[in-house]
Amino acid sequence: MADAFLKPARFSDAEWQARVQLAACYRIFAHLGWAELIYNHISLRVPGPDDHFLINPFGLHYTEVTASNLVKVDVDGHIIGNDDWPINPAGFTFHGAIHATLPDAHCVMHVHTTPTMAVCCSEEGLSFTNFYAAQLHNQVAYHDFEGITVHREEGARILASAGGKRVLLLRNHGPVVIGHTLPQAFNLMWLVQRACEIQVASSTLGQLRQIPVPVLEGCVRDSLNFNPKYGAGEDSFAAMQRLIDRIDPGYRA
């Protein structure tokens, strides 16, 4: 499959691999129903010494994002090189702040899915009362809603609210996850999505059964799907990429 699409000469091998992986992730999000018209963002640090990252072209649906049309920007949102597409200002307000400040924040994801937004709109926030949420115990931070994230100064406040945690719920808005790698970030977002789906579905049943804190702590300790020591979700992301290769391989162009 990969041989059908040639790497443009202007990209290094390392950057092209990052581009292909990120473009695949956009198609995976679309396949899962996590796209939001032309909005929302997944950003990925470009390998190498420069402080650059890749983000989706503003104006394209996730199913139109390809490895070659991803936009390369610096942490201030300036486009690097020539590009046919702009980027959404909201895409680098907090993405840029996170990438610039956290050296191991190689991938940042943000979605507006219905269950995750519903939980972000609730006063309680994420309830650690189901299998998926249990794996996120003590790993979730919150940031109060300030409006549309186009003001640069909010980026620093969002970063401060995260407090070093990998999952940040923007209240009244939606989740942000920060990963050492793209597969790790994807698996974190999967956990957040599933935890919120179950919470929303079970909230109509009355009082939810609480999970004891020692059990929650054990779930975090025993969950391996975002632990770098055990591949941080490489296998599950690769499985989803193979699925996309079968049904929508054009992302490799």
Q: How far apart are the first and last CA of the chain?
A: 11
Tell me the per-residue pLDDT of 103-149, one tens digit each, with 9 for 90 and over.
889 999 999 999 999 999 999 999 999 999 999 999 999 999 999 88
Q: What stretch of H or E contains 31?
A: helix 13-32
What total number of domains does the chain contain? 1
Tell me the per-residue pLDDT of 71-104, one tens digit each, with 9 for 90 and over.
999 988 899 987 889 999 876 778 888 988 888 8
Full domain range(s) for residue 68? 2-252
CATH of the domain at 149: 3.40.225.10
CA angle 67, 41, 58 (to 5 degrees): 70
| Residue of 128, 86, 103, 144 lying closest to 223 (CA atoms) | 128
**DSSP secondary structure string for all residues of 187-237:** HHHHHHHHHHHHHHHHGGGSSPPPPPHHHHHHHHHH--TT-GGGTTTHHHH
Buried b (16+ CB within 10 A) or exposed e, 59-72: ebebebbbbbbbbb
Q: What is the pLDDT of residue 105?
A: 93
CB of 52 within 8 A of CB of 19? no
| Residue of 242, 91, 251, 246 lying closest to 176 (CA atoms) | 91
Check pLDDT > 70 for residue 3. no
- If 0-12 CB within 10 Å is exposed, 13-18 middle and 19+ buried, where does residue 3 land? exposed
Query: What are the tokens at 158?
Result: 């969002």
Q: Which residue in the block uniquely carries the two structure tokens 């929302």?
A: 40
CA angle 58, 73, 62 (to 5 degrees): 30
What is the rounded average pLDDT for all residues in the chain?
92
Cα(91)–Cα(16) distance, rounded to whole angstroms?
Answer: 21
